[in-house]
């Protein structure tokens, strides 16, 4: 979470190199006396330089925040935040980690209303200089950081604290709008950081993949504004972005429908919901069409057992099957599809049951994600059936 310091919704993200160069250019003009004065002002703070135990983490934070802010640079706010803006979750995939941005458009609007230029915010939180750490007397286990120029304060938060903040975010912004001299801290962004633990990207090889989708089989908060043409930002799109499209599997369709029934029945029996069908596709090359088209692939057992390779489309293909957590790859007549069910840890407990009741009141006659595991499984299977040929 980023704020000004008291004294001072499977993706490659934009590179912060340009921002680094801009900040480095300004740093190069600083004189020796200025740098010595700057170091004096940092007494009591610890510079997170190479060798510090948190250096790798803060480098990820800097690169991730630079790319996250680039989204709002490319798409500046055009009016008051909408309900969708408050619920948006944007995930950007970097090498070795993922950075999520929660309610990004709403916070971009707040920064704009405070007169803070996005390019300035981006350069300060980006890789232009090391973050500073200080030891807090807080009883919580949170970590505290300052940007290199001590303008912005960053703090880790527990999930329940983040949920509470986001729930009250609309009223928070209204209060600051009504009372511009309020003593409340200006919270400028909320992000999540997930570090890879040795697993490869779901989508491999990624070079030819055109679009990626996270499908839950519902409509509420299931739209992502696509990146502009030519943008290096790769977004994971959602259900509503897939409207009007189909997955053309040919003979492989019956296998996918059956496997979805089996897998979602398993998750239903575990009382799980809120998982996603992660999906991407790429155009097949001429030498990849037909059975046995590529040496990277081998046949594996289908739901009914190993079938003859002579039957077009009868085999179920897997990419790099000896690797950990290999996901299914299914070839249609023209496209190769990468498919997998992810995020398999949300239990339908008391909190989710209460969330279901609240959403039922807030979104009457609309499909939202928090429903019973039985309905969730059935609805996702129905989505796949309706969107495959």
Q: Please write the tens of the pLDDT for every residue from 118-152.
A: 999 999 999 989 999 865 544 456 788 889 888 89
Higher pLDDT, residue 388 or 332: 388
Q: Are residues 61 and 180 in the same domain?
A: yes
CA distances from 240 to 83, 142, 189, 321, 338 (A): 16, 37, 26, 32, 19
β-bridge pairing 272-273 and 346-347: antiparallel
pLDDT, residue 13, reads 54
Q: Are residues 82 and 221 in the same domain?
A: no
Q: Are residues 247 and 346 in the same domain?
A: yes
Whichever domain contains 276, its CATH number is: 3.30.810.10
In this structure, is residue 374 part of a structural domain? yes
The pLDDT mean for the chain works out to: 77
Q: Tell me how many degrees the CA angle 256-260-263 measures, rounded to the nearest 5.
A: 135
Each residue of 99-109: pLDDT tens digit? Answer: 999 999 999 99
Q: Are residues 111 and 170 in the same domain?
A: yes
Q: Are residues 156 and 103 in the same domain?
A: yes
Q: Are residues 183 and 257 in the same domain?
A: no
Higher pLDDT, residue 196 or 207: 196
Structural domain total, the chain: 2
Peptide bond into 315 cis (omega under 30): no
Q: Are residues 168 and 228 in the same domain?
A: no
Asked whether 110 and 185 are in contact (CB, 8 A), the reply is no
Higher pLDDT, residue 341 or 32: 341
Domain of 328, in residue numbers: 212-288+317-386
The confidence band for 201, taking pLDDT boundaries of 50, 70 and 90, is very low
Per mean pLDDT, which range of 93-102, 173-182, 285-294 is the poorest? Answer: 285-294
Residue 5, pLDDT > 50, answer no
**Strand (E) positions, the chain?**
2-4, 46-47, 89-94, 97-102, 132-133, 144-146, 152-155, 190-195, 211-215, 236-237, 272-273, 276-283, 297-300, 316-319, 328-331, 335-342, 346-347
Each residue of 23-40: pLDDT tens digit? Answer: 344 344 445 444 444 444
CA 323 to chain centre: 24
Per mean pLDDT, which range of 61-75, 84-98, 257-271, 318-332 is the poorest? Answer: 318-332
Q: Are residues 277 and 190 in the same domain?
A: no
Whichever domain contains 52, its CATH number is: 3.30.800.10
Q: Are residues 79 and 140 in the same domain?
A: yes
pLDDT, residue 208, reads 62
The confidence band for 355, taking pLDDT boundaries of 50, 70 and 90, is very high
In this structure, is residue 241 part of a structural domain? yes
In this structure, is residue 17 part of a structural domain? no
CA distances from 227 to 124, 151, 234, 252 (A): 24, 30, 7, 31
Q: How far apart are CA 117 and CA 285, in angstroms?
A: 45
In this structure, is residue 303 part of a structural domain? no
For 195, the 3-state DSSP assignment is: strand
pLDDT, residue 28, reads 45
Per mean pLDDT, which range of 67-71, 99-103, 285-289 is the poorest? Answer: 285-289
Q: How far apart are CA 233 and CA 205, in angstroms?
A: 17
Beta bridge partners of 213: 237, 279
pLDDT, residue 312, reads 37
How confident is the model over 48-69, as a mean pLDDT? 93
Residue 95, pLDDT > 70, answer yes
Higher pLDDT, residue 388 or 27: 388
pLDDT, residue 388, reads 94
What letter does residue 6 receive in the DSSP assignment? Answer: S
Q: Are residues 116 and 254 in the same domain?
A: no
Higher pLDDT, residue 194 or 325: 194
Q: How far apart are CA 292 and CA 307, in angstroms?
A: 13
Among 195, 220, 253, the domain-final residue is: 195
């Amino acid at each position: 979470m980023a704020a000004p310091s008291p004294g001072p919704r499977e993706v490659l993200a934009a590179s912060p190199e340009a921002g680094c160069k801009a900040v480095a250019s300004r740093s190069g003009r600083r004189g020796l006396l200025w740098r010595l004065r700057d170091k004096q002002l940092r007494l009591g703070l610890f510079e997170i330089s190479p060798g510090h135990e948190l250096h790798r983490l803060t480098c990820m934070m800097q690169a991730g925040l630079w790319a996250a802010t680039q989204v709002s640079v490319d798409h500046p706010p055009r009016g008051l935040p909408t309900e969708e803006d408050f619920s948006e979750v944007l995930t950007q995939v970097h090498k070795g980690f993922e950075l999520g941005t929660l309610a990004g458009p709403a916070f971009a609007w707040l920064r704009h209303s405070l007169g803070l230029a996005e390019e300035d915010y981006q350069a300060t939180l980006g890789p232009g200089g090391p973050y500073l750490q200080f030891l807090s007397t807080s009883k919580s286990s949170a970590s505290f950081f300052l940007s290199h120029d001590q303008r912005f304060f960053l703090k880790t938060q527990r999930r329940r604290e983040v949920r509470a903040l986001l729930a009250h975010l609309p009223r928070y912004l209204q209060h600051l709008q009504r009372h511009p001299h309020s003593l409340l801290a200006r919270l400028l962004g909320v992000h999540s950081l997930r570090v890879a633990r040795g697993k490869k990207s779901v989508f491999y090889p990624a070079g030819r993949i055109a679009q990626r989708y996270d499908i839950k089989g519902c409509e509420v908060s299931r739209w992502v504004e696509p990146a502009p043409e030519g943008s290096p930002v790769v977004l994971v799109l959602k259900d509503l972005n897939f409207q009007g499209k189909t997955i053309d599997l040919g003979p492989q369709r019956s296998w996918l429908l059956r496997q979805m029934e089996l897998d979602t029945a398993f998750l239903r029996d575990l009382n799980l919901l809120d998982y996603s069908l992660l999906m991407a596709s790429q155009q097949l090359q001429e030498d990849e069409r037909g059975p046995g088209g590529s040496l990277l692939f081998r046949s594996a057992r289908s739901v009914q057992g190993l079938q003859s390779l002579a039957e077009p489309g009868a085999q179920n293909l897997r990419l790099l099957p000896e690797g950990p957590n290999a996901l299914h790859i299914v070839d249609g007549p023209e496209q190769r599809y990468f498919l997998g069910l992810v995020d398999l840890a949300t239990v339908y407990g008391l909190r989710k049951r209460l969330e279901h009741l609240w959403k039922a009141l807030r979104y009457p006659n609309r499909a939202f994600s928090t429903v019973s595991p039985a309905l969730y499984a059935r609805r996702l299977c129905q989505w796949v059936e309706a969107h495959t040929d």
